[in-house]
Structure 1
Amino acid sequence: MKQFVLIGNYGVGNMGDEALKHYFLRTFPEVQWSVLSAHPVVGELHRLPCGMRSLFGTPWWKTFRCMRRCDGVVFGGGSLFTDTESVQACILWWWHAFVARLHRKPVHLAFQGIGPFRTRLGRLCATSVIRRAASLSVRDRFSLARVQFLCPGKEVTLAFDPVYGDTIGSDRVAKEERVLMIIPRKNSSGAFWHLAEETVRRESWDTIEVICLQQETNLPVTCDAVHQVQSWNELLDQLKCASFVVSERFHGALAALVLGVPFTVSPQCPEDKFDALEKEQCEGRESFVVRIRQGEEELRRGLRLG
């Protein structure tokens, strides 16, 4: 059985990233995965250090040894190579790819969101990893265009977020009452709350509910109920009764897309993952499923699975 290291933004309390991790473990059972996490559970390993605290506070040498012995590394889903929030993210993931190359291990980028970039350093880190990737699939057309611009001639597959394909059997519950559901971030922007308030005023809603994927104590809108959800399936269950969704969480909007619930998002910057998802919500379900299968086939070819 081949052994690969699975790298992503796992272990930080982000429900979407955890759903991605479980997707890879479930969909590729013929691979023996070693998962790197910010806060590893039993059977997982710490990320490589990218600062003094992690250098002295984590057993990073176990991860280093694992990367030396594995058959390759897979960056599994999410928007890892973007500096819209911090250039540190691009540096962190570039560092993991660099260590893999030191050990002469192939690097695979699967279902990735690439960009946008605010800084030259972030763009350079991403370009370095993309150029040397043994296989590459992206989850949206903005990412596809960036790869083609940064690395002309690089072979890249247009896929979609694979969590969507994992749950396409979920059904929306038809209700006569108009239910607005709002999904904020832990520290949502003023622009998002302005969008939410505009949506509240624009139509007559029977019920307004807030869904929190992380602990949220300060809600600047008046609502009828607040729901705390811990898993992807819980999120789908809550959204089944929604008439419309306003989201500042990517997988909140993705769950609405799975259920066929109309939604709007508040992009952090033009042509980011939120912008891409909102523009693609008019595509048919079959198109998304085909793209996910193409991403899976690209990764299987790259990993040389039978």
Structure 2
Amino acid sequence: MGNVKAHRPVLLCGYYGFGNGGDEALLAVLLQLLPADVTPIVLSANVSETQALHRVKAVDRRQLGKLLQTIRQCQGFIWGGGSLMQDATSAISPLYYGGLMLWAQLWGLKTVAWAQGIGPLTRPFSQWWTAWLLSRCSVVTVRDSQSAAWLQKRQVPSAQAPDPVWALTTIAYSEELPERRVAICLRPHSSLTSAGLSRLTEALIDFQKATDTFILLVPFQKSKDVPLATLLQAHLPKVSQTVYLENPQQLKGLFETVQMTIAMRLHALIMAAAAGSKCFALSYDPKVQVLAQELTLPHWILPDLPNTASEMTQAWLDLYSYGQALSPQRIQGICQATKTHQKALNIF
């Protein structure tokens, strides 16, 4: 028996089991980085899918009684990455995630707010509630400068490092495809108007004709993104394909095979940039704009797209022909900096 440590159950809480590639990537990295003697239990909207994809024990996030009982049996609780504390999509979200965090704190668990993107928080109560809960955490790490500044203003200690998905390991994508490839990752959002989508579609058709590239339409969340991908593919017959991958490591591997990526979703941009693809950002959320600015990526803020499709096409042609991907040295430096998030897990 010797020096073998007893297993320590820790509950991982995030937007898991909803089929969102970015959040599943955050979970994959977190599982990758946890100390070896920690036994993770994942809070999920789809227990069987989470168990099959990540090979980990999971509990249903909707069974509140069982969930609270599980927290009492654990030694630690982690908010596992992403913008969990935000009230832009729902005022309920901060109450749900915050309530679980408070329950864990009241039971004396070590609590970690890990790789968080704070906000948007528009309601005064949400702002107070978030700051109060984070001030009670054992460790807080954030993934961007805006979140760090928000916490600093409220005198909540935190460490900042790049989003941990930069350090996600890769599984090579092996399907045979035409040589020159461009990935497109769109999601439905109120800021992507029908007029804007129409211009984007026209611009993409013209871009494809000018470059003779093969377009890969990459939905990150099947339930939400596939209809948009299907719509675009109908306008690009024989020169496009929709690729949906559940495994986030395979998803990152797909981006290694493309020369350029045009994306709305934050983690599509992170995976693509980390894989050495040239990136163009379409920002529907401050977190996307912050990333674009930090990496000096060409970008537009939705819904303020250029007035004509030809302007959009030209911007993409300029990036495709003359733009630069991040250098291997820059990527390595960013990946190295993510280790701050790993150090935070050493409290377990």
Paired-residue identity, %: 24
Give, in whole Å, the separation in 1 of the partners of 2:158 and 2:172. Answer: 30
Q: Counterpart of 2:312? A: none
> What is the alpha-carbon distance in structure 1 between the residues aligned to residue 336 and residue 252 of structure 2?
22
Structure 2 stretches of 5 or more lacking a match? Answer: 1-6, 52-56, 297-325
Matched, 1:72 2:72: no
| Alpha-carbon distance in structure 1 between the residues aligned to 2:24 and 2:170 | 18
| CA–CA distance in structure 1, aligned partners of residues 219 and 189 of structure 2 | 11
Distance 1:169 1:180, change over 3 A: closer
Distance across 2 between alignment mates of 1:4 and 1:252:
28
CA distance in 2, matches of 1:89, 1:158: 23
- Corresponding residue to 2:182 among 180, 183, 188: 180
Question: Which AA in structure 2 matches 1:244?
Answer: M
Q: Which of 23, 31, 55 is matched with 2:38 structurally?
A: 31
The equivalent of 1:289 in structure 2 is 335
Give matches, 1:8-87, under 5 Å. Answer: 8-28=14-34, 29-41=36-48, 43-47=57-61, 54=62, 58=63, 60-87=64-91
Q: Choose which of 116, 119, 138 in structure 1 pairs with 2:120.
A: 116
Match of 2:255?
239
CA distance in 1, matches of 2:141, 2:132: 16
Q: For the residues of structure 2 that align with 1:119 and 1:145, how far apart are their CA atoms?
A: 18
8 Å CA contact 2:135, 2:157 repeated in 1: no
Match of 1:98 among 84, 102, 109: 102
Report the Cα offset of residue 161 of structure 1: 1.9
Confirm whether residue 278 of structure 1 aligns to residue 292 of structure 2: yes
Q: CA deviation at 1:295?
A: 1.7
Partner AA of 1:144 in structure 2: A
Establish whether residue 259 from structure 1 lines up as the match of residue 275 from structure 2: yes
Per the TM alignment, residue 210 of structure 1 is displaced from its structure 2 partner at its CA by 1.6
TM-score, reference length from structure 1:
0.82
User: Larger deviation: 94-103 or 22-31?
Assistant: 22-31
TM-score by length of 2: 0.73
CA distance in 1, matches of 2:103, 2:68: 8
Deviations 1:44-82 (A, max 9, x none): 1122xxxxxx4xxx3x33322221122221111111112
Q: Can you give the 5+ residue segments of structure 1 that lack an aligned partner in the other structure?
A: 48-53
Aligned counterparts of 1:288 and 1:169: Cα–Cα separation in 2 = 20
Gap change, CA 1:287 and 1:67, over 3 Å in 2: same
Provide the C-alpha distance between the structure 2 equivalents of 1:169 and 1:238, rounded to a whole number of angstroms. 9
Q: Which amino acid aligns with 1:128?
A: W
Letter in 2 for 1:5: L
Q: Answer with 252-261 or 273-282: which moved more.
A: 273-282
Q: Which has the larger Rg?
A: 2
Question: In 2, Cα distance between the equivalents of 1:192 and 1:82?
Answer: 26
CA deviation string 1:194-250 (max 9, x = no partner) = 456556657833123322231523455433212222222332343233232111222
Structure with more helix by fraction: 2
Give CA-to-partner distance per residue, 1:97-138, whole Å, 9 cap, x none: 121123132321111111122322332332122121110111
C-alpha displacement of 1:286: 3.2
1:143 Cα deviation after fit: 1.4
Name the structure 2 match of 1:50: none
AA aligned to 2:45 is A
Computed over aligned residues only, the root mean square deviation of the Cα atoms, in angstroms, reads 2.8
Q: Distance in 2 between matches of 1:74 and 1:126?
A: 15
CA distance in 2, matches of 1:192, 1:299: 42
Aligned to 2:144: 140
Q: Contact conserved, 1:196 with 1:246, CA < 8 A, in 2?
A: no
* Number of positions where the alignment pairs a residue of Structure 1 with one of Structure 2: 285
1:210 aligns with 2:256: no
| Structure 1 residues 146 and 211: alpha-carbon distance in aligned structure 2, compared to 1, 3 A threshold | same
